[in-house]
Structure 1
Amino acid sequence: MNRLSIPSWAFLLVTVSAVPTLADDPVVAGRALVQMYCTDCHATEMTGDSPLPIAPRFRELYLRYDVEDLAEALVEGIVTAHPEMPQFEFDPEQATAIIAYLKTLEPHSVEADQQQGPSQ
């Protein structure tokens, strides 16, 4: 039987507790997921170019897709026409978190904010 030493348990506990949970904040969890799985190829923040030039910047995905519609593809496995893109499959909660994060990258017009009225 393999047993972890006390320092190993402490490291594991600190590592697990440092990962944001979906219940804490889906946007934070979604950002962590895209940073973990997507930043090697895609620009995943409000600025910067994608490391892989053919990979779309996440802040511009709304120009190609209704970002909400990507949830199903995230769960079933995104498959693209270019071979460099690995196939990822996320659970529904992870997909929801990723979508929540992607929505924060979309521009919000002043006009749309004025139509919604003051925040409560």
Structure 2
Amino acid sequence: MTTAACSPIAEADARTADDPVALGHEFAVTRCASCHAVELTGLSPNPQSPRFEAVVNRPGVTQETLVPWLDNSHNFPQDMNFEIAPEDIDHLAAYMMTLQHADFRPIPQ
């Protein structure tokens, strides 16, 4: 009997598929980073787009408050035409919450 070996890339893809934070990070990098700073450091390419770190470090932000905010945050057709699928919102919120920390200090844009 032979067993098929799984490549490291396939294994990494399988782990990512089960990890909402990794999926959210991938979504942020591919779909959000052209306007927003999606990592802990850096400025947003578009100065009018808030840094993800600044969003999640506002008082009272939790996973539960962030999901509906993300669902409605891009409903401004005069400024942008962008929708986020519900499953992507959950993953994006999971990733964004990893940027929340007690010693947050805003960076001026």
More helix by share: 1
Q: Give the TM bin, normalised by the shorter chain.
A: 0.5 to 0.7
| SS of corresponding position for 2:83 | coil
Aligned sequence identity (%): 29
Mapped contact 1:35–1:44 kept (Cα < 8 A): yes
Provide the residue aligned with 1:105 in structure 2. 99
2:84 to 73, 89, 92: 89
- Secondary structure (helix, strand or coil) at the match of 1:40 reads coil
**Residues 33 and 98 in structure 1, CA contact (< 8 A), matched pair in contact too:** yes
Cα distance, 1:107–1:80 mapped onto 2, change above 3 Å: farther
Distance apart, 1:35 and its partner CA:
0.8
Residue 46 (structure 1) aligned with residue 40 (structure 2): yes
Of residues 67, 72, 75, the one that matches 1:71 is: 67
**Equivalent position SS for 2:94:** helix
Q: Which has the higher contact order (CA 8 A, sep 6+)?
A: 2
The match for 2:31 is: 37
Q: Secondary structure at the match of 2:75?
A: coil
TM-score normalized with structure 1 length: 0.61
| Structure 2 gap segments, 5+ residues each | 1-8, 104-109
Q: Distance in 2 between matches of 1:103 and 1:26?
A: 11
Let me know the Cα RMSD of the aligned residues: 2.9
Q: Which runs of 5+ in 1 are unaligned?
A: 1-13, 110-120
Q: Deviations over 1:53-97 (max 9, x none)?
A: 1110000002277253231344467324861x3321212x32211
Relative to the length of structure 2, the TM-score reads 0.66
